[in-house]
């Protein structure tokens, strides 16, 4: 990961795994085709020189990634370098013991190319599907994560909470690779309590910067940085921040607008609402040339500060696989190299680089602590 370490940034993509009809052809992929396309996209992301591939977690149609670690484990066997992450692992409805087991196995399979992004999700009915009550969403988030941290860090766990049966003498198997837990990002679009949780533990905070105006994302990141310092983890600038984003590119910007418009207009999430022009003006969605994507993305620093991870959503709304692969070529050839160079310019030396298994292991070996006990080195957390 030399290139990402040089700039301090990890650049990659995330998928929500939607199965959506292509509005220009009327063609709808099968679930099998969508899953296989996702694998092809992950492999292409590595080929294009990206640092991260991340998948969401959904348990309802029209989505297919109901078992993210199964998908990522398969991709791990077909890749060598790229970090494999989730863009949401549901900390509310998944049992923390199972999360701990799944990601420990994925660490071993991938040689440490694994981290995890925890979130509450945005589908209310998922709670009863897994025996939970949505009214407990925030308490579940806090209690489950407290247990998950202990499972990865303690050989024998005795635990008692309010929303789950107690544990006595439980030992996780397998243990985390090199006894270094996966780095944890807490992801949220709108929930301040998630930013608070990330700050309390000194973990990363990922603002899924795709629907809301920049002022909202700025406020969430500022809250996280301020509370990170409050809890004694270091200055606000040392907090670990990631952003989501959406782009569609063609060499000519008007070609990009014309091609993407029918997909935008009919997308299940934001279709039949604001115009493409209004949405791109009010949110970070960028539809245009690679140079415009570079300019817009570099501008994110103006309101969140120097940060560590930027992931783009590129395979949604029914876009055909061929088009997505062309997007990844543009991203790898014309956007990522410029972003790496420019994000490194003026980056203060004391701003941590994006954590990796290797950097966490180095910090541990050097005696700088672990994610659970270092008060001033976020990389060691």
Tokens of 208: 């899924």
- Residue 185 has a pLDDT of 97
Contact in structure between 304 and 207 (CB atoms under 8 Å): yes
- Residue 381 has a pLDDT of 40
List, for residues 88-104, the tens digit of each pLDDT value.
999 999 999 999 999 99
List, for residues 228-263, the tens digit of each pLDDT value.
999 999 999 999 999 999 999 999 999 999 999 999
**Percent of the chain at pLDDT exceeding 70:** 94
Tokens of 8: 């301090």
Integer Cα distance of 37 and 63 in angstroms:
13
Query: DSSP of 167-208, one letter per residue?
Result: EEEE--SSPPGGG-PPEEEEEESS-HHHHHHHHHHT-EEEE-
- Residue 207 has a pLDDT of 93
Pairing assessment for the beta strands 309-313 and 286-288 based on DSSP bridges: unpaired
- Residue 149 has a pLDDT of 97
Contact in structure between 182 and 176 (CB atoms under 8 Å): yes
Integer Cα distance of 176 and 147 in angstroms:
15
List, for residues 3-52, the tens digit of each pLDDT value.
566 678 999 999 999 999 999 999 999 999 999 999 999 999 999 999 99
Tokens of 327: 């997007």
Residue 320: how many other CB atoms lie within 10 Å: 16
Query: DSSP of 102-118, one letter per residue?
Result: HHHHHHHHHTS-BEEEE
Integer Cα distance of 106 and 367 in angstroms:
26
Cβ neighbours for 210, distance < 8 A, ≥ 6 positions apart? 189, 244, 245, 246, 283, 284, 285, 313
The residues of the chain scoring below 70 in pLDDT are 1-6, 122, 368-381
- Residue 377 has a pLDDT of 44
């Amino acid at each position: 990961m030399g290139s990402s370490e040089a700039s301090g940034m990890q650049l990659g993509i995330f998928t929500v795994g939607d199965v959506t009809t292509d509005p220009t052809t009327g063609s709808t992929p099968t679930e099998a085709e969508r899953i296989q396309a996702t694998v092809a996209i992950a492999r292409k992301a590595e080929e294009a020189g990206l640092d991260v591939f991340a998948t969401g977690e959904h348990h309802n149609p029209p989505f297919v990634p109901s078992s993210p670690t199964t998908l990522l484990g398969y991709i791990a066997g077909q890749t060598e370098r790229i970090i494999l992450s989730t863009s949401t692992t549901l900390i509310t409805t998944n049992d923390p013991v199972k999360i701990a087991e799944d990601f420990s196995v994925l660490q071993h399979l991938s040689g440490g190319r694994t981290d995890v992004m925890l979130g509450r999700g945005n589908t209310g009915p998922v709670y009863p599907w897994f025996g939970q009550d949505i009214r407990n969403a925030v308490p579940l988030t806090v209690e489950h994560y407290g247990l998950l941290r202990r499972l990865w860090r303690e050989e024998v766990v005795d635990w008692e909470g309010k929303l789950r049966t107690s544990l006595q003498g439980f030992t996780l198997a397998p243990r985390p690779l090199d006894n270094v837990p996966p780095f944890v990002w807490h992801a949220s679009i709108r929930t301040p309590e998630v930013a608070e949780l990330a700050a309390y533990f000194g973990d990363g905070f990922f603002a899924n910067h795709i629907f809301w105006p920049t002022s909202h994302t700025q406020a969430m990141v500022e809250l996280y940085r301020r509370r990170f310092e409050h809890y004694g983890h270091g200055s606000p600038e040392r907090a670990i921040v990631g952003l989501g984003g959406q782009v569609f590119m063609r060499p000519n910007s008007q070609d990009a607008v014309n091609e993407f418009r029918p997909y935008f207009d009919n997308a299940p999430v934001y279709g039949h609402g604001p115009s493409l022009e209004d949405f791109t003006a009010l949110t970070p969605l960028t539809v245009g040339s690679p140079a415009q994507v570079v300019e817009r993305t570099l501008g994110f620093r103006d309101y969140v500060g120097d940060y560590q991870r930027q992931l783009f959503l590129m395979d949604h709304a029914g876009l055909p696989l061929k088009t997505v692969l062309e997007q990844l070529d543009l991203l790898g050839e014309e956007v990522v190299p410029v972003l790496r160079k420019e994000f490194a310019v003026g980056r203060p030396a004391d701003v941590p680089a994006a954590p990796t298994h290797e950097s966490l292991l180095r910090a541990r070996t050097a005696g700088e602590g672990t994610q659970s006990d270092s008060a001033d080195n976020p990389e060691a957390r």
